[in-house]
Chain A
């Protein structure tokens, strides 16, 4: 619980950063109507997905224990949230259709993901995924069978302790729940589904039809934002999963009857640092997703150069 409390200030900082860095592009009331309409449409669907994913995550957290008391449903809450956002994004991008007239123009260009991929966010996702895969691999490799015969659910150690009366005594210690194969296998399956959704969402963003050619720059920017949102949703899921996994790793490797090896204590300490940070970062990124870049339409048409201004000077 304490580590989750530590995550709250990090999430708050994330929210402040998202507010501070929020991008709002203002366009005139008669400008780029097609892109503005697509931006509203995709945003509407993304919010619907976020709400559905949020509801799914809350259900997994609240009712998951009733379905599976050992937490295999509860642990899928971040995946449910991410899947909801991605499904909303996919629905929005696939149903966004710019209005076409009698004369229709298109650029002779091959749109690629590489041209609109925000490198920073892609690197953050890659780094987070590497950490999660590493944590799950360590968990699966070091997990043991618990007293009920469930493989990969506890972390066990055997050691010899010198007893003043009995002499050397072999003792065992088991700590769980441990993120071993018992949890890793369903989690890996869920994350693979999420990876497929990410791929579909990215493809949908790249293939979405372009609106009018004179809005090409703004449309490219909107696509870059959408790709960024997809990557952020995936990162929220990965970090939201990594946080609890790291915390369980750290708890399993903290003091028990038997001393842990050096490598285990290093992993335990690292996991203790990563756990709250990942949880907080996931919450912060989620806030950033809610406050994603947006296009604002100026209500009044812009003054034309040369129009008389109230003070008598021409507007430049």
Chain B
């Protein structure tokens, strides 16, 4: 059995809960985590990552709102039987571009310069 892992970079401008949410959503969307699989308890994952329990709890809440997981009192959090339809390529690209602009902003680069950089790189 392959070991699924999640990684959080505390210096990344993307909040830790969002980093976690994206990775778990990818694991579920790509079928690495199957319907019915149990996610780690909030406290366990928070302790392993050295995060506050509230951060992981927020991730699980967001995943539940978008239909990726289901939480039941006493039964933990499990992957939902039917995962939400995967995002369209355009939507996925917009998410990636948003993350790129966030990163650029954190580095003190204006959005215009960031777009210029992409354009320059795309020309090879």
- The smallest C-beta distance from A41 to any residue of chain B, in angstroms, reads 15
Please count the residue pairs between chain A and chain B whose beta carbons lie under 8 angstroms apart in the complex.
65
Q: Cβ of B8 and Cβ of A107 under 8 Å apart?
A: no
Q: Cβ of A209 and Cβ of B47 under 8 Å apart?
A: yes
For chain B, residues 1 to 40, give those with C-beta under 8 angstroms from any C-beta of chain A: 3-11, 24, 27, 33, 38-40
Which of B10, B27, B41, B48 counts the most A-chain CB atoms under 10 A from its CB?
A: B48
For chain A, residues 204 to 243, give those with C-beta under 8 angstroms from any C-beta of chain B: 207-210, 213, 216
B48's contact among A102, A103, A210, by CB below 8 Å, is which? A210
Query: What residues on A are CB-neighbors of B41 within 8 Å?
Result: 110
Q: Cβ of A102 and Cβ of B10 under 8 Å apart?
A: yes
Query: What residues on B are CB-neighbors of A210 within 8 Å?
Result: 48
A108's contact among B8, B39, B47, B50, by CB below 8 Å, is which? B39
B49 located at the interface, meaning its Cβ lies under 8 Å from any Cβ of chain A in the complex: yes
Query: What residues on A are CB-neighbors of B45 within 8 Å?
Result: 106, 108
Query: What residues on B are CB-neighbors of A216 within 8 Å?
Result: 3
Chain A residue nearest to B39 (CB atoms) is A108
Query: What residues on A are CB-neighbors of B33 within 8 Å?
Result: 108
Chain B residue nearest to A213 (CB atoms) is B5
Assuming the A-B contacts A102-B9, A209-B50, A213-B5, are A108 and B44 also in contact, with contact meaning beta carbons closer than 8 angstroms in the complex?
no
B105 located at the interface, meaning its Cβ lies under 8 Å from any Cβ of chain A in the complex: no
Interface size (A, Cβ < 8 Å)? 17
A110's contact among B5, B6, B39, B47, by CB below 8 Å, is which? B39
A111 located at the interface, meaning its Cβ lies under 8 Å from any Cβ of chain B in the complex: yes
Assuming the A-B contacts A109-B3, A111-B44, A209-B50, are A103 and B39 also in contact, with contact meaning beta carbons closer than 8 angstroms in the complex?
no
A104's contact among B10, B24, B38, by CB below 8 Å, is which? B10
Q: Cβ of A104 and Cβ of B50 under 8 Å apart?
A: yes
Chain B residue nearest to A108 (CB atoms) is B4
The dominant DSSP class at the B interface is mixed
Interface size (B, Cβ < 8 Å)? 25
Rounded to whole angstroms, the CA-CA distance of A105 and B3 in the bound complex is: 12
Contact with B along A92-129 (1 / 0, CB 8 A): 00000000101111111111000000000000000000
Q: Cβ of A207 and Cβ of B47 under 8 Å apart?
A: yes
Query: What residues on A are CB-neighbors of B27 within 8 Å?
Result: 108
30 inter-chain pairs at a CB distance below 8 angstroms, sorted by A residue, are A102-B9, A103-B7, A103-B8, A103-B9, A104-B7, A104-B8, A104-B9, A104-B51, A105-B5, A105-B6, A106-B5, A106-B40, A106-B45, A106-B48, A107-B3, A107-B4, A107-B5, A107-B40, A108-B4, A108-B27, A108-B33, A109-B4, A110-B39, A110-B41, A110-B44, A110-B76, A207-B44, A210-B48, A213-B3, A216-B3
Binding site for B on A (CB under 8 A): 100, 102-111, 207-210, 213, 216
Binding site for A on B (CB under 8 A): 3-11, 24, 27, 33, 38-41, 43-45, 47-51, 76
New contact pairs (17) apart from A105-B8, A110-B40, A207-B47, CB-CB < 8 Å:
A103-B7, A103-B10, A104-B8, A104-B9, A105-B5, A105-B6, A106-B5, A106-B49, A107-B40, A108-B39, A109-B3, A109-B40, A111-B40, A111-B44, A208-B47, A209-B48, A216-B3
- By Cβ-Cβ distance, the 4 closest A-B pairs, closest first, are A100-B50, A106-B48, A209-B47, A108-B4
